[in-house]
């Protein structure tokens, strides 16, 4: 793949740049002991809603069920429009806006954009249109963890693999350099990985292994110290990626970091609905099987998709390590129209 795009950057100055609503630097300093005391209050009703372009966000659902096992979850997979990674910002914003409008009647206490592309391209606009909602994404938690993993290295080399749209957005660069002025940040689009994962291919598939070796070659040559898995699909290939990149490179799982970030946010707002499992209690999740937490999840899980619910249910078992009920089909044409939030909304209908 001769169009290798890998950018090495030492410093990035961002004077006057408006900070995204996803950013919450206080999350860098947080007491898990304090968070665990928050569940002594009355549980807060309302589910945590998770949205993604397809199956990848289920890695976030899996992590959330480990960190917050008592929380009810709603998942919306926009399978009719997969992938988001090769679409324009305006198109991604339109899709995300429609999904958020669909979720409103469920009164979610928090919405997670469990898609790096949606987070990079749609977060500021959607947060501004729905100021009454608590919304977060996956980029800031991943960048925070990458900087922490770099530790005391003078000029760490931090690599990011992601979709083409996420790489073009430079969202990871900005998030990393907000926390560390001196670093080498290398970005590599990996467009074939999401379709292969959605096809059900695993890390031991020869095609997956060939693609990973091609994509990661530039990172290996530049001797990255930390590698961010900048797409929520990629944790399913974590073992294969580690095998190719080498044991000396620390891998950052954006799904795990996102779940911990959601717990922090809910704790600060007094919105926790039950038990919180701290990072030290979670162990090391497997990349292709269910992430067994210290306690089985007791919260409910409802799923919605815009295409092929039977296929989604079949493949979801690989992401969650368990079978799920058949998702509810929401036809794309039945989602709310792409109009400003303040305008009159057409009635919401769900096709079962």
Q: Which of 6, 93, 115, 258 is catalytic?
A: 115
Contact predicate 332/102, CB 8 Å: no
Kindly give the pairing relationship between strand 135-136 and strand 110-113.
parallel
Q: What's the CA gap between 252 and 14, in Å, rounded?
A: 24
Would you give the DSSP letter of residue 185?
E
First to last CA, the chain: 42
Q: Is 52 helix (H, G, I), strand (E, B) or coil?
A: strand
Q: Which of 6, 93, 231, 258 is catalytic?
A: 231
6 catalytically annotated: no
Q: Is 281 helix (H, G, I), strand (E, B) or coil?
A: helix
- Cα torsion at 98, 253, 45, 33 (round to 10°)? -150
User: What tokens were used for 163?
Assistant: 């979709």
Q: What's the CA gap between 338 and 185, in Å, rounded?
A: 36
Q: Where are the beta strands (DSSP E) in 234-278?
A: 250-253
Q: What's the CA gap between 328 and 314, in Å, rounded?
A: 14
Q: What's the CA gap between 313 and 310, in Å, rounded?
A: 5
231 catalytically annotated: yes
Q: Quick check: bond before 73 cis, omega within 30?
A: no
Burial of 182 (0-12, 13-18, 19+ CB in 10 A): exposed
Q: Give the DSSP letter string of 209-236.
A: HHHHHHHHHHHHHTT-SEEEE-STTGGG
**Catalytic amino acids?**
115, 231
């Amino acid at each position: 793949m001769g169009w290798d795009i890998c950018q090495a950057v030492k410093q990035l100055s961002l004077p006057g740049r408006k900070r995204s609503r996803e950013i919450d630097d206080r999350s860098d300093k947080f007491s898990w002991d304090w968070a665990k005391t928050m569940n002594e209050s009355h549980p807060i009703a309302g589910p945590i809603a998770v949205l993604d372009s397809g199956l990848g966000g289920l890695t976030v659902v899996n992590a959330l069920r480990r960190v917050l096992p008592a929380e009810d979850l709603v998942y919306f997979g926009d399978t009719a429009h997969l992938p988001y990674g090769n679409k324009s910002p305006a198109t991604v914003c339109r899709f995300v806006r429609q999904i958020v409008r669909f979720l409103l009647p469920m009164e979610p206490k928090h919405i997670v954009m469990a898609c790096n592309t949606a987070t990079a391209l749609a977060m500021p606009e959607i947060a501004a249109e729905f100021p009454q909602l608590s919304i977060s994404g996956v980029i800031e938690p991943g960048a925070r963890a990458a900087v922490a993993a770099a530790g005391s290295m003078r000029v760490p080399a931090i690599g990011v693999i992601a979709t083409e749209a996420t790489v073009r957005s430079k969202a990871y660069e900005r998030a990393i350099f907000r926390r560390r002025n001196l670093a080498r940040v290398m970005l590599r689009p990996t467009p074939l990985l999401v379709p292969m994962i959605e096809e059900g291919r695993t890390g031991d598939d020869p095609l997956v292994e060939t693609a990973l070796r091609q994509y990661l070659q530039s990172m290996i040559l530049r001797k990255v110290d930390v590698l961010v898995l900048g797409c929520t699909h990629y944790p399913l290939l974590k073992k294969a990626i580690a095998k190719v990149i080498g044991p000396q490179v620390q891998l950052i799982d954006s799904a795990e970091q996102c779940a911990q970030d959601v717990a922090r946010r809910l704790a600060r707002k007094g919105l926790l609905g039950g038990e919180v499992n701290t990072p030290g209690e979670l162990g090391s999740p497997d990349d292709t099987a269910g992430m067994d937490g210290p306690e089985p999840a007791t919260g409910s899980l409802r799923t919605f998709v815009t295409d092929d619910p039977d296929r989604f249910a079949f493949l979801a078992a690989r992401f969650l390590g368990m079978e799920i009920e058949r998702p509810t089909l929401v036809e794309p044409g039945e989602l709310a129209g792409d109009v400003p939030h303040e305008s009159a909304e057409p009635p919401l209908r769900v096709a079962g």
